[in-house]
C-alpha cells in the first residue's frame, strides 16, 4: 500500500536535504519535483516554448548538467508560474507518488495540489537571510563568483513570484506540519522530520 510524504517550502529552506533523508530512513523513493521545472527551464534555454518543453521531458532530462545553475533555477521559477507547464507535469508527479513502496516528493505545491491526500505533509521554511546565506555558500563552494546581496535579492524575488502566482501559489497545506530550520542543524531538522513521518506511519 502506498504511503506518500509531501514536503514543500521555499528555495534553500532545506527541504531537499530532508526529503532525501526521510526517503533513506524509510526506504521510500524520492522525487525532487523542482528538477522537473529546472529541466523544463533548461529546454526553454535551448529555445523551446515552456509548455512544449514540459510536454517533451524525458527521464534523461533530469540528469542534464547545469540543472543546479542559477539560470536554470530562474527559468524554473518562471516556468512554474505557467498553468500549462504545471498541467503537463502533474501526471508524472502523481504517478510517482503512488509508488507501492512509498514515496517522498518535495517541491512548492505537493501538499496543496499534487498530493492533497498525502499521509504526511511538511512545510519546511527558514528566514530569507538564512536561506540566502545557505545558497550563497553553496554557490561559492561550486566555484561561482557572486555577492551575498545578489543571492538574497534573488531569494526574495523567487519567494514573491512563487507566493503571488495565480496558479498553485506557495503556501502550507492546512494540515501540514511547519518545520522552521532557521536555527536547526541538519541533524536536528532531519531527526524532527523523521519523527513526524514515523509517528504518522504508526497511526491506525
Annotation: binding site for ATP: 9-17
Cell numbers placing 140 = 561559492
Query: What distance in Å separates the CA atoms of residue 38 and residue 59, rounded to the nearest whole number?
Result: 13
Point out the annotated binding site.
9-17
| 92 CB-contact burial (10 Å; exposed 0-12 / middle 13-18 / buried 19+) | middle
Give the bridge partners for 7, in sequence order.
Answer: 106, 122
Query: What distance in Å separates the CA atoms of residue 167 and residue 164, rounded to the nearest whole number?
Result: 9
Distance of CA 176 to CAs 29, 80, 109, 166, 197, Å?
20, 22, 12, 21, 12
Amino acid at each position: 500500500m502506498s504511503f506518500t510524504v509531501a514536503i514543500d517550502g521555499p528555495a534553500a529552506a532545506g527541504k531537499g536535504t530532508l526529503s532525501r533523508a526521510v526517503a533513506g530512513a524509510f526506504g521510500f523513493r524520492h522525487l525532487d519535483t523542482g528538477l522537473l521545472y529546472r529541466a523544463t527551464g533548461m529546454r526553454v534555454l535551448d529555445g523551446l516554448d515552456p509548455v512544449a518543453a514540459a510536454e517533451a521531458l524525458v527521464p534523461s532530462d533530469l540528469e542534464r548538467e547545469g540543472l543546479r545553475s542559477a539560470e536554470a533555477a530562474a527559468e524554473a521559477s518562471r516556468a512554474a508560474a505557467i498553468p500549462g507547464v504545471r498541467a503537463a507535469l502533474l501526471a508524472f508527479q502523481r504517478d510517482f507518488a503512488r509508488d507501492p513502496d512509498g514515496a517522498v516528493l518535495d517541491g512548492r505545491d505537493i501538499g496543496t495540489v499534487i498530493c492533497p491526500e498525502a499521509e504526511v505533509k511538511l512545510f519546511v521554511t527558514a528566514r530569507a537571510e538564512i536561506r540566502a546565506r545557505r545558497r550563497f555558500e553553496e554557490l561559492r563552494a561550486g566555484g561561482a563568483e557572486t555577492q551575498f546581496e545578489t543571492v538574497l535579492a534573488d531569494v526574495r524575488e523567487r519567494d514573491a513570484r512563487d507566493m503571488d502566482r495565480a496558479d498553485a501559489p506557495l503556501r502550507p497545506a492546512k494540515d501540514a506540519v511547519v518545520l522552521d530550520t532557521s536555527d536547526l542543524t541538519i541533524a536536528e531538522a532531519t531527526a524532527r522530520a523523521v519523527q513526524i513521518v514515523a509517528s504518522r506511519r504508526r497511526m491506525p
